[in-house]
Structure 1
Amino acid sequence: MSKSVLFELGVEELPARFIDDALKQLQEKTADWLSENRIPYGEVKGYATPRRLAVKITDVEEKQPDIEEEAKGPAKKIALDDNGDWTKAAIGFSKGQGKDVEDIYFKEIKGTEYVHVNKFIQGEPTMKLLEGFGDILLGLTYPKNMRWGDRELRYARPIRWLVALYGEEVIPFSIENVSTGKTTFGHRFLGGTATVNDPEQYEDVLKEQSIIASVEDRKKTIYDQLKQLEAANNWKLIIDEDLLNEVTHLVEYPTAFSGSFSEEFLEVPEEALITSMKEHQRYFPVRSDDGVLLPYFVGVRNGDDQHLDTVARGNEKVLKARLKDAQFFYEEDQKGSIDKKMEKLSRMVYQEELGTLADKVKRVVAITGKLSEWLELDEPEKQKSLRAAEICKFDLVTQMVDEFTELQGVMGEKYARIFGEDEEVAKAINEHYMPRQANGQVPTTTIGSIVSIADKLDTIVGSISIGIIPTGSQDPYGLRRQALGILQTLNKQQWPIPVEKLIDLVHQFYFELQLPTRSEKEVHSDLHEFFRVRAAYLLKEKNIDPDVVDAVLSRGIGIYPTTILKAELLVEKRQEPSFKPVHEALGRALKLAEKADDDKVSPGLFKNDQEKKLYEVHQSIREEYLSYLQDGHPSEALDLLAELSEPIHSFFDATMVMAEDEKVRNNRLGLLKQIAQDVYVFADLNAIEWKQQF
């Protein structure tokens, strides 16, 4: 007979950011544990509130299924000695399987006879196995752990109670002197202790104690209440998904309420007001139907709807103090000038080995200048780029950004306008921080894109130069995200600048400035590989096959927008039977070209018409082919390469490449090497499996 199982871990309030991952771990580890222990079950459902993590398992059988299986042992020649008696190996094998040598039989596998026995494994009672579930609870990992009292255990928060039931029966085990039972705890103020007599009653029992145990149900309750307030007041709430998720994990019994603040605070930039409400107070800001921020907010109480007016007034007082601070910061930050604020950057350390923020800004300005030249900006646009780079970090010294770090760049743009800076310069200050998160918005303007790339390149090259390289999940400077941002921005702008050229420019700056770095060769290798891995990641995100990714990145990233187009084109071409002869020809040339020492070719050493023809066709297409790639037209470039297909096949049919005459041999290999070098600019075609996809 099957029964349901319930495990509940009661703790002091967990940080909201811990809960999603902890619940996911609990459900996955539970399912894995049940499978490993061969315990049949129906489904696993998880529950979480700030004070509990729980899992209910339905249709759990009373015992493991019995198993009959065949066990394979040593070969017959090892199992029997010269006299035909059982060896220690055979005796030990049979004992290890709970059998005697009389149970042994031989079975042939691939021409060799092996010892075998049939063994019967009786399933253990489920209750006995469930007593070991405490290890799953202890195996949950959290960003931070703590110790409490005189306990040795380190855990996210102190453990206060444990519920463990198989049907109506308590599953006995304990953690740090907390023993399992049927007693759970309800809402701190609205509930009390309660008894769970059956796992299927769990949600109902908690509901009576003012607890909504299901994360999904609690989230929906909050959302519905927000929408009700929105409709009743003709508001448009800013319901941010991350904030909604966080609030869901802060409460056990949610009740939404609204409050207001003085209209005078609306003179402060709305980004500061919204950040104060969302990030500091976990409130949902309110807009009108036409998008104007209104002097109202909506919060979520961990409790019922009693005395909500009092709750609202208390929250209004707290928010008022926050907004007064923001108002003060905004007014103070407008005093002085940008140049005066920039002076403070020389007293702010950016990184111990890389200098101050002022030093970083100087490098960003230099990189911006070079990029402006490469992109052939006109003089006014170049000067705007340099000005944006020069003042891109000035808002870091403002009180507003010091208090609300999330507003760096945002406030820089606003203050730049107030201080009379050009509109494009102001916008670039904000955009140079983009993208702010994975898959976030990239800069849209030319100036913002240039400064963004310059700033990120300086951060990446500087960090890797002094040995700060992301490993595993550790990336404290966000270098991976910034590298992805550079590549995404290059693609957005469709700039024909090879990524390696950008990397080497900044790397060279560091040596010219005599900043402390590791060996030049080592840093160069690390930088190029770091960006290559990021490019591979982005291409795979576009569903480019791994072998095609390896092919287009075999000789570096090159012009990234063109690299994307090359990869997409090759994914299509590999499915076209008509392209197979082209691949075979070019691939054969690539392979044999590996034997060449150099690419020198003397037409006077040609011995037949086929090698002359191949040389002439290659020379005739080469300039146009490379021009197409430089201009971002890989399809046309590949069409030109395809013109080499027939001459290559004819060449190999009529020509002995590895001729006895050394000069002739080297000349033919040099011709193939010239062709191979150009093919590699497109991709290593031999890295691709050119089979049709059905």
Structure 2
Amino acid sequence: MTQTYLIEIGLEDMPAHVVTPSLKQFADKTATFLTDNHLDFGKIVSYATPRRLALMVEGLADKQADIEEDVKGPAKKIAQDAEGNWSKAAIGFTKGQGMSVDDITFKEIKGVEYVYLHKAIAGKPAADILPGLVDVVTGLTFPTRMHWGANSLEYIRPIHWIVSLLDDQVIPMQILDVKAGRTTQGHRFLGHAVDLQHATDYQSQLAEQMVVVDPRRRKDIIGDQINALAAQQHWTVDLDPDLLEEVTNLVEFPTAFFGTFDVKYLDIPEAVLITSMKDNQRYFYARNSEGKMVNAFIGVRNGNEDHLDNVVAGNEKVLTARLEDAAFFYAEDQKKTIDDYVDRLRTVSFHDKIGSMHEKMARVQTIAHLLAVQAGLDGQARDELNRAAEIYKFDLVTNMVGEFPELQGIMGQQYATLAGESPAVAQAIAEHYEPISADGELPQSDIGTILAIADKLDTLMSFFAVDLIPSGSNDPYALRRQAFGIVRMIAAKHWRFSIPEMQRVIADALVEQNQVGKLDYRVHAEALTDFMRDRVKQYLQQEKIRHDVIDTVIAMPTADISAMIDGADILSQHLNDPDFKAVIEAWGRVVRISDKEPTNGMVDPRLFDNDSEGKLQAAVEKVSADFDQQVSDANYKRLAALEPVITEYFTATMVMADDEKVRENRLIQLTHLASLIHQFGDVTALIVK
């Protein structure tokens, strides 16, 4: 026999962004609880509104599954003495299992007899197990928490009611002074409290109280209503999924409406209009058949259509006030030049231990130039990059960005265009913030990419220079995200980028131009290199590269980002080659010996005493002559072709000869070969079968 169990946690209104992840967490932990307690169930259906998190467990078994198991104890020779008397170990073992020595049997395993107990545990009724879900409820984690009154419990919002129904039976539980029952709450203004007679009445009875408790259904209703309004007005509306999700979690009974604003505000840049509507007011914007934005917005109220005219008027008034401010800021900002704003950045602190934003821009200008040379940008592109780096943070001190911080970069592009800057410069100003998340969009232009890398690289080097290095989960300046962004951009452009080499070149240039102040960019250079290696590792893990291949390429001496990524791809392509095992074993033998006693110098053929040494030397010289400077598949194949020669060499040659000169000559020979193999990293980390 199966049952249906309903649990609902009634709260004060939660922030919209918390609802969906909290509901998933609640469902996952409940499923784990039921599984751990051997309670079979069919499926868990999740429900949520801003005021509640609820789960419906369908097909729940009426009791735990019975358990039969054999429990292994100590060896017989420990459990009994020579006379057959039970030892303390045997007695203690049986008591710990809730049984006695009379229940002991023996089983032989690999010639040794062990004590065994056969346990048959009858399952408990579901009603006796479900009260334990209170620990799941109180154990939910949230990004922010609060406590109320004198209570010690911290939660996302105060708990006001709990519903806990197994079919029609209340399952007792209590959190603080709130006891579980069958009473749930309807819409705050349009409904009232209702007693549920059965768990399966949940959706229907709340619908009568103006609550659409299923978030999937609520989202569909909102989408349908917006599309209907758009069709009536001959608009097209972008149903932004993130905004739709947020609005869904802001209401319990949705009703979409539209309002308008003065057409004069369409002269404001679209980005400002969209931010004012979408980010600040949670409105959807609309376009006409020609794709142009119209002076209208679509909102969603938490209620029905009663007095909707008042709602529309109120929202129009609020939005108009915002747009009026935006229009004022937009006009005021254009009264100053870009140079005026750049000069004001001298008084804006980037970080009190590092310096001003103006000083950062000067460093980034130097770094960007070095990166441009590395990337091979031509004269005009370099000039445009230099200009972008000279001004790229200017919009931070504009009125518009002061009011709408999320528009930084976007307004920089807009104002740069109005001031007559080239499209490439304006685009780079907007792109230098990208990517803004681990999987965010990358800059499209080379100039924007270099400026973005330079800006993030300066941030990393500066924070490491003042010993503000992320540790554990602590990363207040999002340095991991910025470093990962650099890796993604380098990977996309496939530019050469040796981390330690670039640090050295940049540090030298900044010292030469007297731009370091009190910063010592060399003090933690090795730590920053390791930090960046970890980000490459993260990137390769996301690309589903095998872990031993990642460990191999991450150890490349050059720590070149593109080389590590290319090396991982090349090795991955050869993992299933018939000779892969033999090749890697041969390489591994070379590097283990040479890395233990690396020896530099010139190989002296006069010290060879067998043909294999000469063959290896000739083969290595040929490979060296043809070897690509950057890691390549051709290099892999050249080195792989040496496997028979290497194998023959080790068969015929004792590297650690008694004669010191012969031994040193052989170590020099292997060190030369190992230096080529090391282009692919630490090949001893590769797993071959």
- Corresponding letter in the other structure for 1:461: M
User: Could you tell me how far apart the structure 1 residues matched to 2:104 and 2:45 are?
Assistant: 46
Instruction: Return the offset for 1:213.
Output: 0.9
User: Could you tell me how far apart the structure 2 residues matched to 1:195 and 1:426 are?
Assistant: 61
Residue aligning to 1:539: 540
- Asked if 1:438 corresponds to 2:438, the answer is yes
- The answer to whether the Cα contact below 8 Å between 1:432 and 1:455 also exists between their aligned partners in 2 is yes
Residue aligning to 2:677: 679
User: Could you tell me how far apart the structure 2 residues matched to 1:250 and 1:200 are?
Assistant: 25
Residue aligning to 1:576: 577
Cα separation, partners in 2 of 1:673 and 1:411, compared to 1, 3 Å = same
Cα separation, partners in 2 of 1:40 and 1:327, compared to 1, 3 Å = same
User: Could you tell me how far apart the structure 2 residues matched to 1:580 and 1:455 are?
Assistant: 44
Residue aligning to 2:161: 161
Pairing 1:501-516 to 2, within 5 Å after superposition = 501-506=501-506
CA displacement, residues 281-304 of structure 1 (integer Å, 9 cap, x when unaligned): 000111123321111111111111
1:624 pairs with 623, 626, 636, which one?
626
Normalising by the residue count of structure 1, what TM-score does the alignment of the two structures yield? Answer: 0.94
- Asked if 1:596 corresponds to 2:594, the answer is no
Pairing 1:288-303 to 2, within 5 Å after superposition = 288-303=288-303
CA displacement, residues 598-632 of structure 1 (integer Å, 9 cap, x when unaligned): 13233232223321222222222214313353xxx
User: Could you tell me how far apart the structure 2 residues matched to 1:386 and 1:109 are?
Assistant: 77
State the SS of the aligned residue for 2:629.
helix
Instruction: Structure 1: give runs of 5+ residues left out of the alignment.
Output: none
Pairing 1:230-309 to 2, within 5 Å after superposition = 230-309=230-309
- The answer to whether the Cα contact below 8 Å between 1:256 and 1:300 also exists between their aligned partners in 2 is yes
Pairing 1:514-529 to 2, within 5 Å after superposition = 520=522, 523-529=524-530
CA displacement, residues 202-247 of structure 1 (integer Å, 9 cap, x when unaligned): 1111111111111111111111212222222221112211111100
CA displacement, residues 642-663 of structure 1 (integer Å, 9 cap, x when unaligned): 3423332332233222222111
- Asked if 1:637 corresponds to 2:638, the answer is no
CA displacement, residues 71-124 of structure 1 (integer Å, 9 cap, x when unaligned): 222222222234432222222222222222222222222332222222232222
CA displacement, residues 529-572 of structure 1 (integer Å, 9 cap, x when unaligned): 21111111112222221111112222257443343333222212
Cα separation, partners in 2 of 1:149 and 1:684, compared to 1, 3 Å = closer
Residue aligning to 1:567: 568
Instruction: Return the offset for 1:473.
Output: 4.6
Residue aligning to 1:352: 352
User: Could you tell me how far apart the structure 1 residues matched to 2:424 and 2:333 are?
Assistant: 21
Q: Which shows bigger deviation, 305-314 or 177-186?
A: 305-314
User: Could you tell me how far apart the structure 1 residues matched to 2:274 and 2:179 are?
Assistant: 46
Residue aligning to 2:646: 648
User: Could you tell me how far apart the structure 2 residues matched to 1:293 and 1:233 are?
Assistant: 13
- The answer to whether the Cα contact below 8 Å between 1:551 and 1:687 also exists between their aligned partners in 2 is yes
1:661 pairs with 659, 662, 667, which one?
659
State the SS of the aligned residue for 1:297.
strand
Q: Which shows bigger deviation, 567-576 or 556-565?
A: 556-565
User: Could you tell me how far apart the structure 1 residues matched to 2:562 and 2:381 are?
Assistant: 23
Instruction: Return the offset for 1:468.
Output: 3.0
Residue aligning to 2:8: 8
- Corresponding letter in the other structure for 1:613: K
- The answer to whether the Cα contact below 8 Å between 1:3 and 1:167 also exists between their aligned partners in 2 is yes
Cα separation, partners in 2 of 1:556 and 1:3, compared to 1, 3 Å = farther
Q: Which shows bigger deviation, 463-472 or 386-395?
A: 463-472
Instruction: Return the offset for 1:506.
Output: 4.3
- The answer to whether the Cα contact below 8 Å between 1:551 and 1:685 also exists between their aligned partners in 2 is yes
Cα separation, partners in 2 of 1:589 and 1:173, compared to 1, 3 Å = same
Pairing 1:48-447 to 2, within 5 Å after superposition = 48-447=48-447
- The answer to whether the Cα contact below 8 Å between 1:104 and 1:117 also exists between their aligned partners in 2 is yes
CA displacement, residues 409-465 of structure 1 (integer Å, 9 cap, x when unaligned): 111011112122222222111111111222222222222122111100011122233
- The answer to whether the Cα contact below 8 Å between 2:161 and 2:184 also exists between their aligned partners in 1 is yes
- The answer to whether the Cα contact below 8 Å between 2:163 and 2:184 also exists between their aligned partners in 1 is yes
- The answer to whether the Cα contact below 8 Å between 1:595 and 1:669 also exists between their aligned partners in 2 is no
Q: Which shows bigger deviation, 461-470 or 485-494?
A: 461-470
Instruction: Return the offset for 1:48.
Output: 0.7
Instruction: Return the offset for 1:27.
Output: 0.2
State the SS of the aligned residue for 2:120.
strand
Instruction: Return the offset for 1:186.
Output: 0.6
Count of matched residue positions in the alignment of Structure 1 and Structure 2:
686
- The answer to whether the Cα contact below 8 Å between 1:625 and 1:641 also exists between their aligned partners in 2 is no
Pairing 1:37-52 to 2, within 5 Å after superposition = 37-52=37-52
User: Could you tell me how far apart the structure 2 residues matched to 1:650 and 1:132 are?
Assistant: 69
- Corresponding letter in the other structure for 1:533: D
- The answer to whether the Cα contact below 8 Å between 1:466 and 1:516 also exists between their aligned partners in 2 is no
State the SS of the aligned residue for 1:577.
coil
- The answer to whether the Cα contact below 8 Å between 1:507 and 1:524 also exists between their aligned partners in 2 is no
Instruction: Return the offset for 1:49.
Output: 0.4
- The answer to whether the Cα contact below 8 Å between 1:462 and 1:510 also exists between their aligned partners in 2 is no
Instruction: Structure 2: give runs of 5+ residues left out of the alignment.
Output: none
Instruction: Return the offset for 1:20.
Output: 1.4
State the SS of the aligned residue for 2:132.
coil
- Corresponding letter in the other structure for 1:689: I
- Corresponding letter in the other structure for 1:588: R
CA displacement, residues 336-387 of structure 1 (integer Å, 9 cap, x when unaligned): 2111111221211111111111121121112122223334444443332222
- The answer to whether the Cα contact below 8 Å between 2:603 and 2:668 also exists between their aligned partners in 1 is no
- The answer to whether the Cα contact below 8 Å between 2:409 and 2:429 also exists between their aligned partners in 1 is yes
Residue aligning to 1:475: 475
State the SS of the aligned residue for 1:131.
helix
Cα separation, partners in 2 of 1:42 and 1:518, compared to 1, 3 Å = farther
User: Could you tell me how far apart the structure 2 residues matched to 1:476 and 1:492 are?
Assistant: 27
Q: RMSD of the alignment, in Å?
A: 2.1
Instruction: Return the offset for 1:66.
Output: 2.5
- The answer to whether the Cα contact below 8 Å between 1:67 and 1:123 also exists between their aligned partners in 2 is yes
Q: Which shows bigger deviation, 294-303 or 60-69?
A: 60-69
User: Could you tell me how far apart the structure 1 residues matched to 2:354 and 2:422 are?
Assistant: 30
Pairing 1:538-557 to 2, within 5 Å after superposition = 538-556=539-557
State the SS of the aligned residue for 1:627.
coil
- The answer to whether the Cα contact below 8 Å between 2:557 and 2:681 also exists between their aligned partners in 1 is no
- Corresponding letter in the other structure for 1:574: L
- The answer to whether the Cα contact below 8 Å between 1:628 and 1:636 also exists between their aligned partners in 2 is no
User: Could you tell me how far apart the structure 2 residues matched to 1:518 and 1:133 are?
Assistant: 55
Instruction: Return the offset for 1:597.
Output: 3.2
Instruction: Return the offset for 1:639.
Output: 2.5
Fraction of identical pairs, as percent:
43
Instruction: Return the offset for 1:510.
Output: 7.5
Cα separation, partners in 2 of 1:38 and 1:504, compared to 1, 3 Å = farther
Cα separation, partners in 2 of 1:35 and 1:103, compared to 1, 3 Å = same
Q: Which shows bigger deviation, 406-415 or 76-85?
A: 76-85
